[in-house]
Amino acid sequence: MLRPQVFALQEGEVKIGLICSEKQAIDATLNSLASEDSRFCPIADKYW
């Protein structure tokens, strides 16, 4: 079982929090969302 290791928060017009095992998965998710909806940015505001 994978355990979450990376958290990300994006606070713009739309707020979203993501939890993934790798930062690359978060970046890929945000890139996909940004390509379909201009309210999302392809980079999170905070990672930890």
| pLDDT tens digits, one per residue of 26-40 | 999 999 999 999 999
**Is residue 29 domain-resident?**
yes
> Which pLDDT band, with edges at 50, 70 and 90, does 14 fall under?
very high
Domain count, the chain: 1
pTM strictly above 0.95: no
**Is residue 31 domain-resident?**
yes
**Residues in a beta bridge with 17:** 9
Contact 22, 5 (CB under 8 A): yes
Q: Which domain holds residue 17?
A: 6-47
**Is residue 1 domain-resident?**
no
Report residue 25: phi and psi, to 5°: -70, -40
**Is residue 24 domain-resident?**
yes
